[in-house]
A = this chain, B = another copy of it.
């Protein structure tokens, strides 16, 4: 009964508004993600998604965060997150630790280097946000 989507006609005005809004999101995302990726990579050697993960880890103050919880907070798919954390670990920015209670689960935690890079890269990140979302 409710398992399908009824596709009904839409007022042309409403449709145009939706499309316009979507295109705005689209170009906002594209411009910003592109700029973030380039600047963060050039200046700090880290990609946008990896920084976003690091940022989440830092905002969850303290330390260990379960992968699954991270997955709920980040926009990435499970596989993308897995690879992102693997990259971060390879760079020495986070550590992965087994959970003793549930040996399937994984705790992720910033290292000192991770915290340092976050502190260093944050202004770059925030300045770009300010620039493109500031209005």
Contact = CB atoms under 8 A, between A and B. Distances in A.
A26 B75 contact: yes
A27 interface: yes
A18 B129 contact: yes
A3 interface: no
Interface string A124-135: 101101110110
A131 B8 CA distance: 12
Interface stretch (A28-36, A84-92, A93-101, A104-112): A28-36
Interface in A36-50: none
A126 B25 contact: no
B18 A134 contact: yes
A134 B133 CA distance: 22
Given A21-B133, A134-B18, A127 B5 contact: yes
B129 A27 contact: no
A134 to B, nearest CB: 7
A11 B43 CA distance: 23
B75 A10 contact: no
A7 interface: yes
A124 B15 CA distance: 12
A19 interface: yes
